Structure 1
């Protein structure tokens, strides 16, 4: 089984969890899991196969009818029990997040708090699975619309919030009567396996929650293409989303894809500059900029741009970077590949004419000789076609462009394939009222930093995805509708 007591002390052995049984790594190839702060190997996971994926899908399929037959309140009771187990092990789980993902421990504690919130909110919706009775055009007839589970839900999650993203999908999927198969991302797999251990201890029936490890293009593809997959829910890059879209096309799979973002952060001349700077720093550099709703491109009114950039750059420069188990603002990037990707896009941006206002960049000396470190960087570009404006950076690089008015800012903000989040700082009620109609995205933050509410709805437009999570709309997305025409003659 997965051993929570081994976290931070011993080599972690990541066995898969299929049909209520821990599947040994014996005679299997393995994938090494790295601590991004030290480059030390903290454990290994099974490099799962398509057969492993299908075994998990079949286990979930067998378990689903019995699980769905239970009253929703009973399903919710087990999900609540899992949430309570997470609370009991919260500090251990937070350290696990930091160990495998690299975010500072304080932020990891916040992620584990989100796990509890996601699970308990889903459990609280057990008595809100509702249908409709509609008047018919025919005599002696009613139209009933019921909600049913999809069956087996496939969960594919990104590495930036490995515990929270799994719980965000797991809770509503199970409460609505689906069973769940999670592919734990190979970079950060242990959080998903830890949830499986706690679910097993909480008494979940075999097959209701399964966790498979391995590579997305092998295990994930097999899960998506399986005829047993009723719903596929994925959080990750737009590139990966396109691949899943293609993989599910032939069978016309039901997909919910939360993909990349390129959030504009607009600051107008009448804004509270200090509040805007504070929010912009948080929205850019939390989790080393590895958040889909991050402040990716700042559009600053020319009347306040100098003041804003001076304060923003000073705040970014003051951020502390180091051992994420200590009290620092930023830890490492998740991998060497991610560092190289950010450095490459900055180099292309500079070649395109970007001016570097704060040259952070790759850190490789002294205490940063091991690990994957990238310091806060601030650049100003001259036009809206810079690679730093067009492409998702997903790292601690802030890009600014001056604008003359809000109309120009809105036009630049919408000139993108992405449509996840946007920010606007202004004290004009007229401009605040205009923003939801002018900005083409699924989520808008007005005079505040990022961070979704559990009762809201987190959704993307365009190439930022399909469907969404959270709130009553996210919960309802794990149910399909059935119409019955009841005629009593």
Structure 2
């Protein structure tokens, strides 16, 4: 039996102005309706912005440590509901329970982290060039911010935008992706339970065109933070900056892992396999290209095929290794790229089919897929697939490996597997990516360091997470005090 959920505007849970709704189905069983949400439009978005603007002055005037106490109580509320949140995430987005639980824990940790950071939100004192003068900076909130978040990390990404925005003293309108809005709705309920004043956070569900557009264009919105595709993010950035809003967009990736001859091949297979097939490949940081030295190429291909074929696929609530795609359209997109890889002449080593029969017929399940004999100019080596599809490319040396790694329009995350320390250091220097890793998978991020990409992966304005998250959501005022 599904549950009906409202928007959250000015402290009240309410229906959309039109009364229209949409349903979210379990990706492991498309016949199961998980919940019903509001199909909002511009009127709802505008009301949410107006509520946030009305609450702004009082929230900005709230002492930062008091804001931090509310964030800490939110973390505690999330922790108390961790099992419920994990199940909601799995039944709407499809992640395995282990993956979903890890994501929920990340949201808890993010709120804990920024709760503590509120105690350090002062400025800096500088030496003035004259006597009887003080020169210092102070950090101030931007005002009202719009947060537009994706379905693939439906609580972690809202958390890493919401927590620093609130810590810095901003009011917020959050629009989650329609494919999996339930776990972020419950995050808002935890904020409400923690005592967040009415209007400080507002939550509106609906399509990007009906809700996301107004939240980007509204004249009272001071900043927009977006995570999603490069195509949509580019439009968001262009629209938001027309009236000089501050904007931050984190977008797509085509992330490589380079495997060198000195690497432990078993370790390399595990690193690439978990990065490529974890969370069903539905991560902007997922590894979609293995760039492998020719001396170990055949051995690596054999190993990664065994890895892919060993994975158990099924409903994320069961004890499986990989869950379904989030929607039928995402599944179809992955299958289309399998066809493209075959048409371009790559060798399909394993996978590539939709899973059918018994438990699979009513879900969006696909086999983990490995292509070999991939050229760097093939579409499956250039375009973001957003599914469990790995392209394996052969190179003759380190320099060629880095050149291939960089020869895409994206630059989000990249890794190398090597036991040569010089190669590791040189890779970090040369790779064109916002995140560079040595002997680690491309997925997985620490919450207290900056995150963001280069090239088409980012607007290259501000980073997210850590102190960088606070930098985006605040302005610096410089004060000259002559006494």
**TM exceeding 0.5:** yes
Judge conservation of contact 1:25–1:45 (CA < 8 Å) in 2: no
Cα 1:26–1:127 change in 2 (3 A) is closer
Q: What CA deviation, in whole Å up to 9, does each residue of 1:196-223 have, x standing for no partner?
A: 2222222111001110011111101101
Residue 478 of structure 1: how far off its partner (Å) = 1.6
Question: Does 2:440 match 1:452?
Answer: no
Superposed displacement of residue 355, structure 1: 0.4
Deviation per CA, 1:25-47, whole angstroms, max 9, x where unpaired?
A: 58511112111110022221111
TM-score by length of 2: 0.97
Q: Which stretches of structure 1, 4 residues or more, deviate above 6 A after TM superposition? A: none
- Is 1:119–2:114 an aligned residue pair? no
| Residue equivalent to 2:229 | 237
Aligned to 2:268: 276
| Residue of structure 2 aligned with 1:193, choices 165, 185, 199 | 185
State whether residues 257 and 468 of structure 1, in contact with CA within 8 Å, keep that contact through their aligned partners in structure 2. Answer: no
Question: Does the 8 A contact of 2:64 with 2:167 survive in 1?
Answer: yes
* Cα separation, 2, equivalents of 1:83 and 1:186: 24
Q: Is 1:464 the equivalent of 2:453? A: no
Q: In the TM superposition, what is the alpha-carbon distance from 1:138 to its structure 2 partner?
A: 4.9
- Paired with 2:199 and 2:109, the residues of 1 have a C-alpha distance of 24
In the alignment, the residues of structure 2 paired with residue 112 and residue 130 of structure 1 have an alpha-carbon distance, to the nearest angstrom, of: 30
Aligned to 2:431: 439
How far did residue 137 of structure 1 move?
4.1
Deviation (angstroms), 1:300: 0.2
1:11 aligns with 2:6: no
Aligned counterparts, 1:87-486, within 5 A = 87-138=79-130, 140-449=132-441, 450-465=443-458, 466=460, 467-486=462-481
> 1:143 Cα shift?
3.0
CA distance in 2, matches of 1:306, 1:380: 9
Q: Which residue in the other structure is 2:27 paired with?
A: 36
Does structure 2 retain, via aligned residues, the 8 Å contact 1:148–1:482? Answer: yes
CA distance in 2, matches of 1:88, 1:281: 33
Structure 2: gaps spanning 5 or more residues:
none
Q: Secondary structure at the match of 1:282?
A: helix
Residues of 1 paired with 2:469 and 2:394: CA distance? 37
CA contact (8 A) 1:441 1:461 kept: yes
Contact map agreement 2:413 2:453 (CA 8 A) in 1: yes
Does structure 2 conserve the Cα–Cα contact (< 8 Å) formed by 1:182 and 1:192? no
Task: Give, in whole Å, the separation in 2 of the partners of 1:26 and 1:238.
Answer: 31
8 Å CA contact 2:252–2:457 kept in 1: the answer is yes
The DSSP-based 3-state class of the residue aligned with 1:448 is coil
Q: 1:471: Cα distance to partner?
A: 1.6
Q: Report if the CA contact (8 A) 2:283-2:386 is conserved.
A: yes
Mark the CA change 1:484 to 1:211 in structure 2 (over 3 Å): closer, same or farther: same
Give the drift of 1:147. 1.1
Please state how far the C-alpha of 1:312 moved relative to its aligned partner: 1.0
Cα distance, 1:140 vs structure 2:
4.2
SS in 2 for 1:255: strand
Aligned Cα root-mean-square deviation (Å):
1.3
TM-score by length of structure 1 reads: 0.95
For the Cα contact (< 8 Å) 1:298–1:399, is it kept in 2? yes
Give aligned pairs, total: 479
